[in-house]
Amino acid sequence: MIGLISATAAGAAARDRLAAAWPDRTRVYEGPAGEAVRAAFAECDRLVCFLATGATVRLLAPLLGDKAADPGVVCVDEGGRFAVSLVGGHGGGANELAHEVAQLLGAEPVVTTATDAVGLAGLDTLGLPAEGAVAAVSRALLDGVPVSLEAESAWPLPPVPFAGQGAYTVRLTDRAVQPGPREVLLRPPSLVVGVGASRGAPVGEVLGLIEEALREAGLSVRSVAELATVDAKSEEPGIVAAAGRLGVPLVTYPADELAAVAVPNPSDAPLAAVGTPSVAEAAALRTGGELLVPKRKSAASPAMATCAVVRRPGRGRLAVVGLGPGARDLLTPRAAAELRRASVLVGLDQYVDQIRDLIRPGTRVLESGLGAEEERARTAVAEARKGHAVALIGSGDAGVYAMASPALAEASDDIDVVGVPGVTAALAAGAVLGAPLGHDHVSISLSDLHTPWEVIERRVRAAAEADIVVTFYNPRSRGRDWQLPKALAVLSGHREPETPVGVVRNASRPDESARLTTLAGLDPATVDMMTVVTVGNTATRNIAGRMVTPRGYRWQHAPEGAR
């Protein structure tokens, strides 16, 4: 929950804007500022104070304890010009919150954390528990001192400029080891603990068994990703409470699925009780991986709990990212976040150039030229299979005539795939023209490099006969100059010569140009590969120089006898 505190009418107005935008995330604290800050600090995980920074610092000073536990605090000035990350930038989430608040209020985010200031991913922001000399190793990274990475398993980390060998070390491990004086331990969520329990098993017995099993195996409890059990035990209080105390989800599986998992230690007791010869081992192994701790029972008499531990392999992550049509403000925040998260970026060289300033230090960039789409897709998937966090970029939306299709054709279920939508060229061009896509519409690529012309022509003819607005991608190039005239001729057989046609080149970019013409008046020679051509349907009109397709067909005259 985010606590909101203000002291003036202007602050209250901005406060109320946040409260209205985030009704489920925020709580307004009324009354004197000092009392409100104290109450919010005790009850919320983050605060936004619409107060002067000096006043906020004085109110916070006696409340501050441990930066790992204190809430993050953002301070917004009286004029709503700046959202300052004041306390708990990383651990308390204030840096991220400052950006969110600034975006909503139209303010400027102010973040002074050293790693954020130079674009480095902070070691305490990698999404993994960090132990050891976080400040010292972070300082070494900032100063350009070599810091080596020792990864005991592949894991999709965000970009950090690690060196081959260095006096400082970041070690990725799930083993219960202590960090050295110049070392940071990162704990990957690599351990799955399968749990079985008799009805009424105490949480202390379940939790004690888990902790003992991990300790004796030399494994860190901070790397436990989830507890797993059979569906019949999904509401068993001792298991549910143990997952809650460990701060991990409880995952359950049907008994027949667990019965199909080969285990080293089956038993007749769970088979009779819940329908599977194994609960703990089978539930842990169900996720795949290496069995580190075979089934063991709790020490109580009679034993009411069992557990087993599996180390699951790290899964690479492939984000297929649409960059939009070119304008920076049409690049979505989600796309920008994925670019910052990726340790490997794969893309067409000219698209990489568009976002090169957003790439964090330490990101490995694999770029290539036109015509290498399938090679880029294979490269991105191969890098993800090595355990990396990969971003494969394309223009517009990555799923529309772009990189998602070839990438997903290469990918199997051994990696995680995330799609990040982007603004398409058709949408960007439509916004420039007016509202040409107000009713049913279709996009058709006129490039016959990968699709036979006979298929393309059949699709154009179907759209023409169905009276659907058509947007042509890849309409014309130096080597393909006859396809657009042919497609226009097909449409002309079903639409009037005066049908509006919009032509937009480099939509949203600095050299954008647009014009509105007609089906009879369009000169194909003025069109190239950077152009999108949108042909209206029989209801589309030119209204005040804008191309408009109505949501209904009320503008058309009904046929005789149809009224």
Residue 172 has pLDDT above 50, yes or no: yes
Residue 124 has pLDDT above 80, yes or no: no
Residue 166 has pLDDT above 60, yes or no: yes
CA distance 467 to 394: 31
Per-residue confidence (pLDDT) for residue 115, from 0 to 100: 67
518 has which bridge partners?
500
Residue 202 has pLDDT above 80, yes or no: yes
State which H helix or E strand residue 75 sits in.
strand 72-76
Amino acid at 374: E
Please tell me the pTM assigned to this model: 0.76
Count CA within 13 A, CB hemisphere, residue 36: 19
CA distance 130 to 114: 18
Return the structure tokens found at 328. 């920076």
Mean pLDDT of 490-515: 95
Q: What is the pLDDT of residues 444-453, one digit of tens each?
A: 999 988 899 9
* Cβ–Cβ < 8 Å for 182, 133: yes
pLDDT tier at 512, thresholds 50, 70, 90:
very high
pLDDT tier at 561, thresholds 50, 70, 90:
very low
Per-residue confidence (pLDDT) for residue 474, from 0 to 100: 93
Sheet containing 441-445: order of strands: 441-445, 469-473, 531-535, 500-505, 513-518
What percent of the residues of the chain are helix, what percent strand, and what percent coil, each to the nearest 5?
A: 35, 25, 40
Q: What is the pLDDT of residues 344-383, one digit of tens each?
A: 999 999 999 999 999 988 899 999 988 888 999 999 999 9
pLDDT tier at 558, thresholds 50, 70, 90:
very low
Nearest to 323 by CA among 248, 423, 468: 423
State which H helix or E strand residue 444 sits in.
strand 441-445
Task: Give the range with max mean pLDDT: 39-53, 150-164, 457-471.
Answer: 457-471
Per-residue confidence (pLDDT) for residue 563, from 0 to 100: 33
User: At a CB cut-off of 8 Å and minimum separation 6, what does 294 contact?
Assistant: 264, 265, 281, 308
CA distance 242 to 223: 15
Mean pLDDT of 514-534: 95
* Cβ–Cβ < 8 Å for 188, 172: yes
Per-residue confidence (pLDDT) for residue 126, from 0 to 100: 75
pLDDT tier at 117, thresholds 50, 70, 90:
low
CA distance 252 to 194: 10
Residue 560 has pLDDT above 60, yes or no: no
CA distance 67 to 266: 47
Which of 3-7, 165-169, 398-402 is predicted with the least confidence, judged by mean pLDDT?
A: 165-169
CA distance 520 to 522: 6
Q: What is the pLDDT of residues 239-290, one digit of tens each?
A: 999 999 999 999 999 999 999 999 999 998 888 888 999 999 999 999 888 9
Q: Residues 59, 62, 66, 71: is their CA dihedral positive or negative?
A: negative
Helix residue spans in 315-443 (DSSP H): 333-341, 349-355, 373-385, 404-410, 425-433
Higher pLDDT, 555 or 327: 327
Mean pLDDT of 110-122: 73
Per-residue confidence (pLDDT) for residue 562, from 0 to 100: 39
Residue 211 has pLDDT above 90, yes or no: yes
CA dihedral angle for residue 453, residue 458, residue 464, residue 465, rounded to 10 degrees: 170
Residue 555 has pLDDT above 70, yes or no: no
Rounded percentage of the chain residues whose pLDDT exceeds 90 = 66
Mean pLDDT, the chain, whole residue set: 91
